[in-house]
Structure 1
Amino acid sequence: MTEPLRIDIVSDVMCPWCIIGYRQLAKALEATDTAHEIHWHPFELNPEMPAEGQNTREHIVEKYGSTPEQSEQSRQHMTAVGHDLGFEFAWAEDSRMHNTFNTHQLLHWADTQGRRHDLKQALFTAHFTERRNLSDTAVLAEIAAENGLDRAEAEAVLADQRFANEVRSAEQFWQQQGITGVPAMVFNRKHLVTGAQGVENYTNILAQLADMKD
C-alpha cells in the first residue's frame, strides 16, 4: 500500500493567496488521484495587529505601499481566480484585517478533535466571503459551533488561552525553518513550495513527487 503524501501547509486565514493556493492544490490532488494527508500550521501575517483590526485597504497601502488602484486591481484578480476555484471573495470598503492569534488557538484546539481542516476552511469563508469579525471571540466560538464543535468549550479555550504556548512554539518552529511568507507548503517534509502556484504547476509537482517514489 502506497503511503499517502504528507503535505504541511503553513498559512494564515487573513491570507487570500492561502485559500487560493489550497484550492489549486486540491484540484491538482483530485486530478492526479493522489493519496495524501494535509496538516495545517499557524503563521501570523500581522502579529502586531491591534484587537480592533484595521481596514484592509488601508493596511495594504501601509504595509506594501500599494496605490488604491493597484489594490483594486489585485482584488479583482483574486476575485476572478477565486471564482474559477469555487471560492467567493466579497471585498468591500469596510473589509478588515484581524489579529489571528486567537484564531490559531481555536484551530489548534479543533485539531485535538480531528477538525482543524474543516474549521480552517470555514474560517476562510467567514473572513473573505461573509466578512465576519474574527477579532471577536464570540464570533469565533459561533463559527466553531456551526462546524460541529462545542461552543462553550471553544469560548473557554479562547478565554483561558490554554493553547497560547503551543501556537507560539509552532509559529517559531516554522519561522526557524525559514518560512517568512505564506502559503508555504512542504511535501513529504523536505520539498518546500511557496506561494499559490496554480493548478497546472501543482499537478506537475505532484507528478515529480510520484516519480521520485517509483
Structure 2
Amino acid sequence: MTTLKIDLVSDIACPWCAIGYARLQQALASLPDLSVELEWHAFELNPDKNAAQEPILPALSRKYGRSEDEMRAAQANMMNVASELGLNFDKMQQRFTCNTFDAHRLVKWAATDNKATEMKLALFDAYFGEAKDVSASVVLADCAEQAGLDKSEAERILATDDFANTVSEDIAKYQQAGISSVPAFIINNKYLISGAQEPAQLAQALQQIAGESA
C-alpha cells in the first residue's frame, strides 16, 4: 500500500474547505490501495480579530462586488453540493463573519491527541450547520467536547495563549509559500492541488502522484 502525506491548508470559515475534505474522503474510498497521512494547517479568511461581526451575505457581497441575491444563489448552490456529500450546511446563510484564530488553536491542540480531523469537523458543523459563533470560547469548548476531547482542558487553553505561536507560524509559512486561497492540498511536500476538486478528479490526481512516488 502506498502512503501519501497530505498537508491540507484550510479555514473553518471556508465552506469549500469542508466540501473539499468530504470530496477527499470520497476520492480515498475509491482508492483502497492508497492511504494518507493528513495534517491540517491554518489559514484565516478574516484575520482581523477586532473586526465587527456582520451577516455573511452583505459581507460577501461587498467582498466580491456582487449583489446579495447573487451571493445567496451561490451559497444555495454550495448547500446543495454539501447536502449530497452528507454535510450539514443548513444555516450557512444565517452565519456571521468571524475570526477563527482560537478555533485553529484548538485544532492544533486536538492534533496532539490525533483528533484534529474530529475537531475540524465539529467546527464546520457548528459554523455552517448551526450558524454558531466559532470565535466564542463557549462554542469552541462545546465543539471540543463533541470531538471527543476534554472540555475543561479546551477552556483552559482558550484562556491562555497556548498554541498561538504554532498557529501564527503555520499561517505565515503557507502565506510565504504562495498559498492565497483555500482549500489547498499539498501532496508529499511537492504537488499542489488547489480548490475543492470533484472526487473523481481528485482520485485521478492522487493515483498519478502515488504512481510517481512508488
Give unmatched runs, 5+ long, in structure 1: none
The alpha carbon displacement at 1:112 in A equals 1.3
SS in 2 for 1:4: strand
Contact 2:72–2:93 (CA<8 Å) still a contact in 1?
no
Give unmatched runs, 5+ long, in structure 2: none
TM score, norm. by length of structure 1: 0.94
Q: Which residue of 1 aligns with 2:136?
A: 136
Contact 1:11–1:18 (CA<8 Å) still a contact in 2?
yes
Q: Does 1:22 align with 2:21?
A: yes
1:176-195 to 2 correspondences below 5 Å: 176-195=176-195
Q: Deviations over 1:5-60 (max 9, x none)?
A: 11110000100000111111110111112211111000001101536522111210
Contact 1:51–1:135 (CA<8 Å) still a contact in 2?
no
Q: Does 1:56 align with 2:56?
A: yes
Contact 1:75–1:91 (CA<8 Å) still a contact in 2?
no
Q: Distance in 2 between matches of 1:191 and 1:138?
A: 38
Q: Which residue of 1 aligns with 2:30?
A: 31
SS in 1 for 2:94: coil
Q: Which residue of 2 aligns with 1:175?
A: 175
Q: Distance in 1 between matches of 2:70 and 2:165?
A: 38
Q: Distance in 1 between matches of 2:14 and 2:203?
A: 22
The alpha carbon displacement at 1:94 in A equals 3.5
Q: Which residue of 2 aligns with 1:112?
A: 112
Q: Distance in 2 between matches of 1:71 and 1:5?
A: 36
TM score, norm. by length of structure 2: 0.94
SS in 2 for 1:86: coil
SS in 1 for 2:168: helix
Q: Distance in 2 between matches of 1:174 and 1:93?
A: 29
Q: Deviations over 1:108-135 (max 9, x none)?
A: 1111111111111111111101222212
Q: Which residue of 2 aligns with 1:153?
A: 153
- Corresponding pairs, count: 213
The alpha carbon displacement at 1:139 in A equals 1.2
Q: Please provide the CA RMSD for this pair.
A: 1.5
The alpha carbon displacement at 1:3 in A equals 4.6
Q: Distance in 1 between matches of 2:164 and 2:49?
A: 17
Q: Which residue of 2 aligns with 1:42?
A: 42
**Where does structure 1 differ by over 6 angstroms across 4 or more consecutive aligned residues?**
none
Q: Deviations over 1:143-200 (max 9, x none)?
A: 1122221111111111111211111011101111110110000011100011111112
Q: Which residue of 1 aligns with 2:102?
A: 102
Contact 2:92–2:130 (CA<8 Å) still a contact in 1?
no
Q: Which residue of 2 aligns with 1:124?
A: 124
The alpha carbon displacement at 1:84 in A equals 1.3
Q: 1:92 to 1:183 in 2, by over 3 A?
A: closer
Contact 1:52–1:135 (CA<8 Å) still a contact in 2?
no
SS in 1 for 2:9: strand
The alpha carbon displacement at 1:213 in A equals 2.9
Contact 2:95–2:132 (CA<8 Å) still a contact in 1?
no
The alpha carbon displacement at 1:68 in A equals 1.3
